[in-house]
Amino acid sequence: MSLDALNSLLPIAGWPADRARAVEVSGGTDPILPTPFRITETAVASLAAVGMAASDLWEMRTGRQQQIGIDARQATASLRSGSYLNIEGTPVPNGRNAVMGTYPAKNGRWSYLHCNFPNHRAAALKVLGVPEERDAVRKAVAQWDALELEEAIIAANGAGGMVRSMAEWAQHPQGIAIAGLPLMEIVKIGDSPAEPLPKGDRPLSGIRVLDLTRVIAGPTCARTLAEQGAEVLKITGKHLPSLGRQEYDTGHGKLSAHLDLREAKDVEILRGLVRQTDMFSQGYRPGTLGNRGFSPEQLAQLRPGIIVVSLCAFSHVGPWASRRGFDTVVQTVSGITHRQGELFPGAAPGPQFYPVSAIDFLTGYLMAFGAMVALARRTREGGSWLVRISLAQVGRWLVERGQVPEAELKDVIKEFTPAELERWTMSSTTPAGKLRHLAPVIRMSETPPRWDKPTVPLGYHPPVWPA
């Protein structure tokens, strides 16, 4: 397997070029699933970086490095882990809403409507002026210019976009803005004394993480930190739309509590939690939490030495910096679905999504990697740190890895074998019953990753740190 993707991550942590050789990779290389994009290489790189960062923290504790192993096929399966959930013998639904999807618009263009969340679905249907019926939506979209529909849906607080080619995205003002950014930034945002790692028998023992993220990418970050021993408390609002089922996949290892940041008393509760935390991971659009007093700079004043991990869709610069977005939206506007549809057409012609949620999960893994690199810096030199990344930056990193030659894309399997999936699966006892789900991917010789808590429904615990 090429180490190009992993080599591109080494400078973020200040690691030497030969550090990549510390990871043992097995299981093959791209294409493992039907897509030209190098989802396996990037998954292996992201997870290897997580393991290496955790190993560095372990070395700070013990003076010993660890051996790290990644099964490339298992790493690839982890990019759609939500597809392999089974509760009490019944598969957990993982389908999309019936009207969510890509539709032909005027002049041969295509439009994507992101409709999984009820508020985004309502916004799209209001703009189109039709009921929640796929045929009605198709007929309505066909009357629209795709670019005008994109802007109308965004203006209505919905989500979606016009399908673009990679060449078009490269010339788009937001594509140009993202091209000027690194994959991820780790920036010192305040001064504070160096803090030794708390005592414990795992890389992140004693490290507290507040997880204010939703959907897949951000929650995957906190889930990955929990694998390494962090104490994670997820905070969300009862009033916020949620699919519920996603927590079966991303909620492993976490406590979960509700707060309503529209209420002054809940803002104060969160401020109290922040004063006792080490990491604050947020996935709202730039400026959203700053309006509540929780911008990175405000957090660094509230808790000197905090590590703030900040995720958004389209980065903090450019005309789309405040725009909503998801993995599928980034695929759509940046040329990924255009290219996937050329090589792997669906039942009907048109753009296609790749067969995983690569940008989402890669982003989550990279966020966890960045958080641990920042923690190591706090341990050595002190300071408050900001780890900043976006789905669009990760999408660009994936595309920049190049594509699998077309001649190698014939007869690629669409699913892993039952024996493989059984080998990669574990069981947890949750409040909803026995849950079968994928286990952690990374192999570490001294501290095998694991989750100490089962996934729970949102708001299951009180908003307090355990004694």
pLDDT at 455 over 80: yes
CATH architecture of the domain with residue range 4-93+182-316+356-444: 3-Layer(aba) Sandwich (3.40)
Is the pLDDT higher at 147 or at 244? 147
Exposed / middle / buried, residue 193 (Cβ in 10 Å: 0-12, 13-18, 19+): exposed
Mean pLDDT (the chain, rounded): 95
111 forms beta bridges with 103, 162
> Token pair for residue 41?
């290489």
68 forms beta bridges with 23, 444
Q: Are strands 384-390 and 185-190 parallel, antiparallel or unpaired?
A: antiparallel
The per-residue pLDDT for range 121-163, each reduced to its tens digit, is 999 999 999 999 999 999 999 999 999 999 999 999 999 999 9
212 forms beta bridges with 282
pLDDT given at position 250 = 95
In this structure, the number of other CB atoms found within 10 A of the CB of residue 328 comes to 26
The per-residue pLDDT for range 270-328, each reduced to its tens digit, is 999 999 999 999 988 777 787 888 999 999 999 999 999 999 999 999 999 989 899 99
Length of the chain: 467
CA 187 to chain centre: 20
Q: What does the domain layout of the chain look like in residue ranges? A: 4-93+182-316+356-444
Distances (CA, A) of 403 to 6, 63, 133, 145: 16, 40, 37, 31
> Token pair for residue 32?
């493992």
Binning the chain into helix, strand and coil, the percentages to the nearest 5 are: 40, 15, 40
pLDDT at 44 over 80: yes
pLDDT given at position 245 = 75
φ/ψ of residue 303, rounded to 5:
-140, 85
> Token pair for residue 33?
């699933």
The per-residue pLDDT for range 53-111, each reduced to its tens digit, is 999 999 999 999 999 999 999 999 999 999 999 999 999 987 778 899 999 999 999 99
The per-residue pLDDT for range 171-191, each reduced to its tens digit, is 999 999 999 999 999 999 999
pLDDT given at position 212 = 96
